[in-house]
């Protein structure tokens, strides 16, 4: 009887110590993995350097990290502005869309002081001006080591196009992480003097903003398609959106529209007398509740 009791006690002790019941402190490796994929991004491990991990209550931690971020800058009317941030190998997020989701205005005019030109023409994108643009976006007051420029490269664009450049910067951010059955996840982030922003809240607001953009795209395409039928007598017959756009652009649709705000191709099904244009929405699956569809006539 005593032997049976000891066996049960031993098994109970082992069960109590299994990983499912013990929340380990956040390691730098796990923190880096969580940051690499936060907010749907796909950053290489070399782009994230975890500097400090502060574990608080059970399953909660705060992290200070340096992230290598790549921005696209564009020049319009002689002024440089950051327009996009890279979230993956070939994916970019428009800063205007993010600002709309957060209900805030993008900074402007703060980096147009002549002292930032470093003796170069006023239209030049200098390292000093690039650093100012990134710091202004993140709420960092210069001088500060929280923003450092690693590289700048101009993009070769056709004659007559607006100037464009890529800016690679090291930026300092603070993050809050929580642990659940699936591991550690980033739940909040902040930079500079900005307030803490919840990832879940931002993701929801950003998806709603993208729904508005996608609806506008589909409505524009549908309007062009209806005009096409008025002139040609029928809609474009195809099951490919690329074929549709090739028929509509440039006479009926001045802007080439290929992908939705989630970076996925729009879908088209068209016969002579009816059509349907679809964005598969945030979940990336066709035929689900979050699809955005415009059909006609």
| Residue 283 sits in the same domain as residue 219 | yes
Tens digit of pLDDT for each residue in 279-292? 999 999 999 999 99
**Of 35, 30, 87, nearest to 66 (Cα)?**
35
Mean local confidence (pLDDT), 109-117: 74
* 96 backbone dihedrals φ, ψ, rounded to 5°: -65, -40
Which residues make beta-bridge pairs with 184? 179
User: Which DSSP string corresponds to 247-269?
Assistant: HHTTTT-SS---B-TTS-B-EEE
Mean pLDDT of all residues in 87-105: 87
pLDDT (average), residues 197-219: 93
Please report the pLDDT score of residue 118 as a whole number: 61
Statement to judge: residues 245 and 167 lie in one domain? no
- Do both 240 and 96 map to the same domain? no
Residue 281 lies in domain = 212-296
Q: Does residue 18 form part of some domain?
A: no
pLDDT of 271 reads 95
- Look at residue 71 and tell me whether its pLDDT is greater than 90: yes
pLDDT of 6 above 60: no
Is 5 domain-assigned? no
Average pLDDT value for the chain: 86
Q: Which helix (H) or strand (E) holds 132?
A: helix 127-138
Give the confidence band of 156 by pLDDT, cuts at 50, 70, 90.
Answer: low
Residues 82 and 218 occupy one common structural domain: no
Average pLDDT over every residue of 4-11: 36
Q: In whole angstroms, what is the distance from residue 286 CA to residue 280 CA?
A: 5
């Amino acid at each position: 009887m005593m032997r049976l009791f000891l066996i049960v006690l031993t098994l109970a002790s082992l069960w109590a110590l299994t990983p499912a019941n013990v929340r380990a402190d956040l390691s730098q490796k796990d923190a880096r993995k969580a940051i690499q994929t936060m907010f749907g991004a796909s950053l290489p491990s070399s782009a994230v350097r975890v500097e400090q991990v502060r574990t608080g209550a059970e399953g909660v931690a705060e992290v200070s990290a340096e992230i290598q971020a790549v921005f696209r800058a564009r020049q319009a009317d002689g002024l440089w502005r950051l327009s996009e941030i890279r979230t993956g190998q070939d994916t970019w997020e428009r800063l205007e869309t993010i600002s709309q989701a957060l209900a805030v205005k993008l900074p402007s005019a703060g980096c147009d002081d002549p002292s930032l030109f470093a003796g170069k023409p006023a239209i030049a994108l200098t390292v000093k001006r690039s650093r100012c643009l990134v710091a202004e976006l993140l709420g960092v007051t210069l001088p500060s080591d929280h923003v450092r420029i690693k590289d700048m490269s101009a993009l070769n664009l056709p004659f007559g196009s607006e100037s464009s450049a890529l800016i690679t910067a090291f930026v300092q951010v603070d993050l809050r992480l929580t642990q659940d059955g699936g591991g550690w996840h980033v739940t909040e982030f902040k930079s500079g003097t900005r307030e803490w922003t919840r990832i879940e809240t931002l993701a929801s607001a950003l998806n709603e903003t993208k729904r508005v953009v996608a609806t506008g795209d589909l409505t524009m395409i549908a309007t062009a398609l209806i005009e096409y039928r008025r002139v040609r007598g029928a809609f474009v017959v195809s099951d490919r959106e690329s074929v549709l756009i090739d028929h509509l652009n440039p006479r009926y649709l001045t802007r080439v529209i290929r992908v939705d705000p989630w970076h996925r191709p729009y879908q088209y099904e068209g016969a002579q007398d009816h059509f349907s244009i679809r964005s598969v929405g945030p979940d990336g699956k066709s035929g689900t509740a979050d699809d955005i569809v415009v059909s006609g006539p």
